[in-house]
A and B are shown apart, each in its own frame.
Chain A
Amino acid sequence: MSATEELKPVKKLNLKENYSLLTRGLGWEPTYHTKAAVYPMMAFEGIKIHDWDKWEDPFRLTMDAYWKYQGEKERKLYAIIDAFQQNNGQFQVTDARYVQALKVFINGVTELEYLSHRGFCILSREFEGVGPRIAAQMQSIDELRHAQTQIHAISQYNKYFTGMSCFPYQFDHAWYLSIPKSFFEDAVSSGPFEFITAISFAFEYVLTNLVFMPWMSGAAFNGDMATVSFGFSAQSDEARHMTLGIEVIKFLLEQDPDNLPIVQRWIDKWFWRGYRLLTLLAAMMDYMLPKRVMSWSEAWEIYFEQNGGALFVDLARYGVRMPKYWEVTVKEKGLVSHQLWSTFYQLRHAVAFPVWLPSDDEMDWMSAKYPDTFDKYFRPKYTYWKELEAAGTPYIVDTLPVLCQTCQWPTLFAEPDDPMQTCHRESVYKGETFHFCSDGCKDIFDYEPEKYVHAWMPVQQILQGNCFLPGVDPTAPDFNPLVEALKYMGIKPGIDGGDFATCQDARNWEEWTKRAASMYEAMATPPVATAAE
């Protein structure tokens, strides 16, 4: 357009001009194909966009600045990871229970970063506007960086602790990891506008502060400088992603009033999907951080009720309301971490990390943080289970749970208004009955049943005989389907799951560090006895 201007020394561009050249000047009008043919996914979801030039990326990050600052972040991060490794940082965290949280992270979260990388890579091709295409491209590279730095940082732990060595395999096979996996695959397999609303807005803007602020601050508090460093390094990108998320919502709503009901439905759906996924984080915060910064309930108040609430007040001028069922999340904030940890305890032989009952000190902390719920609903249960352990008859559940067809959690949650009653919902579709953990999950299924009837449900797959390694003979006289299914999932009995007190990590920790595997208990095995190994 400016090709005819004569060449002369130009003044340095300011930030806005620089960014504008990158995001407007680099686009072009297709001539030998229609726009609809070049960007076929733009019409897929019924979203109406009239003018892509109205898109504003507030960070205005140009490519030179992107590479410069990302490079600097990497150098800072790897200096810390090097120092951590050279100084045996893996043994300087509070105790061996903390390390179990990292197993959940590497097996269940890191792969989401990689799926996110793929999702944004797709968007950087599918969006018609240049501004959002460039933002998606940067985010795609960011997400790949997150996956890589997490793997690098945690690889040091993998040299000393069990259960981290085959994380991509477990992510694709272990029953409870289908929960994060199905969440992200649901998003990646939707259209581009739904994906970006799901991930950038509902997940990153509204919810991931809970992962990267209180949890990573907790990692620092527990002495894990490698994890807090990759966490904060990732989150420095995340702040940019969140801003993309809010910009997307505003852009869609400003472009056409017909977009509002579509966007609101996505916000409702993905808030609920993301909230259910974060139950995992609730249990990690309340149970797996030996030294605690704040409770899940307090974090929910700050980051969702207060900060999320401010966001939705702002969005009200577009006609957007709070996500459906947000009141349920507030009713549940005193329950979900305890409900999930109880479930993990009962199924501890079938998960890839060992599980423990909270110590007396920790139960006192929970009573103080959860005055309305812990002593009433959970302390009696834990006390009883401790008695059973002491009596040599520990409680365990060896049947398979009912899974929610949408979020894939076992139906472990309570009725919102009655914590003593398990919440269970059903829908019948084409003559088949489907089960749900909540009204939120049932609504999502009922709107798009054809999508969710195809979900890969681990329990159903085990029962159908699809979760056995090659060569396993189900007709053999000693065939045990549960044992074989765990082998298929990459979970080694006696090493990966089970009771924390007797697990390999706990024994090694005490032998190698001469400190108790749980900071709240005495050393389980006197140093002399461990020499028997």
Chain B
Amino acid sequence: MTDTVAPEQLVFIALQANSDTISIIEAIMADNPRAVLNEYPAMVKIDAPGRLVIKRETIEEALGRSYDLREIQLNLISLGGSVDESEDEFILEWKRV
């Protein structure tokens, strides 16, 4: 019963629910098997323990066109976790203590 491992804290990303984000959400869920999709009116909130990776390549495959990860700004509502962004990946994570 002595649980010495700190539970992994959730990170999250919230996106508008619209036709732009259908493929993006699909790609995020495919790349993050532990992520949980919460649907609310007009928006979704994706929670994941510890880390969430958004990959340009997967989104491009789902969208069928090239995609600049900064485009996510258009439909982003909120996020939780530290952000690390490059051309290829947008990562949200809480660094392990």
Contact = CB atoms under 8 A, between A and B. Distances in A.
Interface of A: 14-16, 58-61, 65, 69, 72-73, 76, 209, 212-214, 216-218, 220-221, 228, 232, 235-236, 238-240, 242-243, 246, 293, 306-307, 309-311, 313-314, 316-317
A310 B94 contact: yes
B64 interface: no
Contacts, number: 98
Contacts of A293: 40-41
Contacts of B35: none
A217 B9 contact: no
Given A220-B42, A313-B94, A15 B87 contact: yes
Interface string B19-63: 000000000000000000000111101000000000000000000
> Could you say which interface size class chain B belongs to?
20 to 34
B95 A314 contact: yes
15 contacts: A14-B86, A69-B70, A209-B78, A213-B14, A213-B78, A216-B42, A217-B42, A238-B78, A242-B79, A243-B83, A306-B10, A307-B10, A313-B97, A314-B94, A317-B95
A69 B16 contact: no
A522 to B, nearest CB: 27
B77 A307 contact: no
Contacts of A72: 74
A313 B94 CA distance: 9
Interface of B: 6, 9-12, 14, 16, 40-43, 45, 70-71, 73-87, 94-95, 97
Contact of A73 (B74, B87, B95): B74
A232 to B, nearest CB: 5
B42 A243 contact: no
B97 A58 contact: no
A508 to B, nearest CB: 27
B85 A59 contact: yes
Contacts of B74: 69, 72-73, 76, 236
A58 B82 contact: yes
A383 to B, nearest CB: 31
Which has the most chain B C-beta neighbours within 10 Å: A72, A214, A238, A239? A239
A221 B73 contact: no
A219 to B, nearest CB: 8
Given A69-B71, A217-B42, A310-B9, A235 B85 contact: no
A262 to B, nearest CB: 22
